[in-house]
Amino acid sequence: MGRAIDLFVTYRFIKLLVTPFEKTDAHKLGIIDENGKRTLEPGTNKPTMLRTIEERNSYTVLHKLVFNIKKIFGKVPGLRTKLGTYAAALFLLKDTFKESVDDPDVFEKEFMKYLKEEGYEIDNSISEEVIGFGEVLPKGEYTLANDILNNEEEELSAKSGDKVVTYDDEPPIDTILGVDIFPVIHMKTKEKIYVGLEDLNQWKNGKK
pLDDT of 200 strictly over 60: yes
Q: Model confidence at 134, in pLDDT bands (50, 70, 90)?
A: low
Task: Determine the pLDDT at residue 127.
Answer: 53
Nearest to 184 by CA among 197, 175, 31: 197
Task: Determine the pLDDT at residue 49.
Answer: 93
What is the rounded average pLDDT of the residues 127-140? 66
Does domain 140-204 correspond to CATH entry 3.40.50? no
- Of residues 31 and 138, which shows the higher confidence score? 31
On whether the CB atoms of residues 156 and 66 are closer than 8 A, the answer is no
Percent of the chain with pLDDT over 70: 81
- Where do runs of H (alpha helix) occur along the chain? 2-18, 25-28, 53-58, 61-75, 84-96, 106-117
Nearest to 198 by CA among 181, 175, 174: 181
pTM: 0.80
pLDDT of 136 strictly over 60: yes
**Domain range list for the chain:** 2-123, 140-204
Task: Determine the pLDDT at residue 208.
Answer: 34
Neighbours of 84 (CB within 10 A): 25
Neighbours of 70 (CB within 10 A): 18
How does pLDDT run across 159-188, given as a tens digit for each residue? 889 999 999 999 999 999 888 899 999 999
Farthest-apart Cα atoms in the chain, separation: 57
- Of residues 81 and 43, which shows the higher confidence score? 43
